[in-house]
Amino acid sequence: MKDSTIKKVSVSTSPKGAMGQTYLVSGKRLAMRLWDREQPQQGASDQRDYETVGYVIDGLAELTLEGQTIRLAPGDSWLVPAGSQHSYRILEPFTAIEATAPPAQVHGRDEAPS
């Protein structure tokens, strides 16, 4: 039997994560989250068991992935493969949408230490 469930999630009532993320809609294999006006900071190096793609709405950041650094500006999108060592450095207040597969927030994937 196919799943024909429709979901709508409002950012105003969405749950928040411990790292500042807002969880948006989530399916069985894919989820979205919002990083809204994240302040300048150097993030710790991390390695997660999910794949992440993102799109920058506003601000400026750097992504270092397996020793390579790229700058992320409005209109840019990026990919962090599952299992890759990476870190983000927020240079200006940063707003972005990310999708994770499988969903980052399920089974503690998002909050678990690397």
| Neighbouring-strand partners of residue 40 | none
Q: How confident is the model at residue 114 (pLDDT cuts 50, 70, 90)?
A: very low
Residue extents of the structural domains in the chain: 19-101
Q: What is the DSSP letter of 46?
A: B
**Nearest C-alpha neighbor of 87 from the set 39, 45, 38:** 45
- In the block, residue with structure tokens 């989250």: 33
DSSP 49-92: SSEEEEEEEEEEEEEEETTEEEEE-TT-EEEE-TT--EEEEEEE
CB within 8 Å of 112: residues ≥ 6 apart: none
**What is d(CA 49, CA 111) in angstroms, rounded to the nearest whole number?**
12
Pull the structure tokens for residue 107. Answer: 């089974």
pLDDT, mean over the chain = 92
Does the structural domain 19-101 have CATH classification 2.60.120.10?
yes
pLDDT digits (tens, 9 = 90+) for 40-94: 999 889 999 999 999 999 999 999 999 999 999 999 999 999 999 999 999 999 9
Q: How confident is the model at residue 113 (pLDDT cuts 50, 70, 90)?
A: low
